[in-house]
Amino acid sequence: MEPKVLQGPSDNSKVPRKSLGQLLLQVCNTHRNNTAVIDIKSGESLTFGQLCQLAKNLAASLRLLGAKKSMVGVVAENSHKFLVTYLAGFFLATPLHLINPTSTEYELKELLTLSKPTIVFCSKSSLGNVVKVKDELGFIKTVISFDGVVESKQTILAYADLIKESKGFQIEEGVDLENQVGLVLNSSGTSGLPKGVMVTEKMLWLHFVHSRDSDSFNMKPQEVVPLVMPFFHMYAIHFINVALYSGATIAALDRFNPEIFLETCEKYQVEQLVLVPYLINFLTKTLLVPLYDMSSVRQVWTAGSSLMDEDAKKIKKR
């Protein structure tokens, strides 16, 4: 891939130029006894060691299903299972196409046609639409349900069955960071139908470099970072990578519920908030904020659209 950035600041991060799979495996071993993710909806949590082992098991199962020679789709909400699949994709160096689970049948058909995955993971909410488009599209061979097997005329595999054991796990070696596609994300579609944006491992590797910048992220091991931004957005992906590589704990929220979000922040003494201007505006106005102890917050991140100066000033005061 032809380089687009010809010159930038020198890299002093000392992050090895290895594949994301190798780097994630290394960080899981380093922080193996620390909590990697807390699934706020289900209440389940995984240590880095557990997250890594489940991802190894899933990667081995996916290899047997032929994922190494294909693209894998993920149509699901934020959860610990999503993160297990995320790591498994990088262990295999198999591109993951991350898709909004609220996509309509028509939208899902258009999006899946861009990448033509042979394997698609889905949640309970998106399973119906995935099954409907499977036969029509033709290229999807396997559907995997995060939420168990349901009655269907088609064969649907259960995620739970694929993470039970690791048969011949091997991490992919010799990955070309410059050209290996790690993720496929979708553009907003403001100028027509959404496009498929191929994100290379080199681009994602830079997130790990950013995690070592003490002037910006500065996340600490075991620091809890609540992520309510959809995991199929690059904004969330950036923070997932930074949090994992920093040994921090991701508190995964599947949607924004004001009370649950604020309870999470108070319970885990959250130091950094990852928001969008709309949510910042809401938090500046709601009467709920004073009911919770938010004194631990030291930094607020925002992206997606412009932030009003007035809201920036108000959120600092709150």
Q: How many CA atoms lie within 13 A of 50 on its CB side?
A: 12
DSSP letters, 195-211, are PEEEEEHHHHHHHHHHT
pLDDT category of residue 192 using cuts at 50, 70 and 90: confident
Q: Where are the domains of the chain?
A: 45-201
Residue among 100, 30, 28 nearest 59 (CA): 28
Q: 200-259, pLDDT tens digit by residue? A: 999 999 999 989 887 778 899 999 999 999 999 999 999 999 999 999 999 999 999 999
CA distances from 164 to 50, 120, 169, 296 (A): 12, 19, 13, 39
Taking the mean position of all CA atoms in its chain, how far away is CA 283? 24
Q: What is the mean pLDDT of residues 301-305?
A: 91
pLDDT of residue 160: 96
Q: What is the mean pLDDT of residues 276-292?
A: 95
pLDDT of residue 4: 65
Of the ranges 8-12, 25-29, 213-217, which is most confident? 25-29
Label residue 269 left, alpha or beta by phi (over 0 means left) and psi (-120 to 50 means alpha).
left
pLDDT of residue 154: 64
The structure's pTM equals 0.94
pLDDT of residue 316: 85
Q: What is the mean pLDDT of residues 165-172?
A: 86
**Residue 278 to residue 214: CA distance in whole angstroms:** 27
Domain 45-201 -> CATH class: alpha beta
Q: What is the mean pLDDT of residues 20-34?
A: 97
**Helix intervals (H) in 116-222:** 124-137, 159-162, 201-210
Give the pairing of strands 272-275 and 299-302. parallel
Contacts of 73 (CB under 8 A, 6+ apart): 96, 97, 99, 112, 115, 117, 119, 120, 121, 140
Q: What is the mean pLDDT of residues 264-285?
A: 96
Share of the chain above pLDDT 90, in %: 80
Q: 86-95, pLDDT tens digit by residue? A: 999 999 999 9
**Residue 3 to residue 202: CA distance in whole angstroms:** 11
pLDDT of residue 304: 85
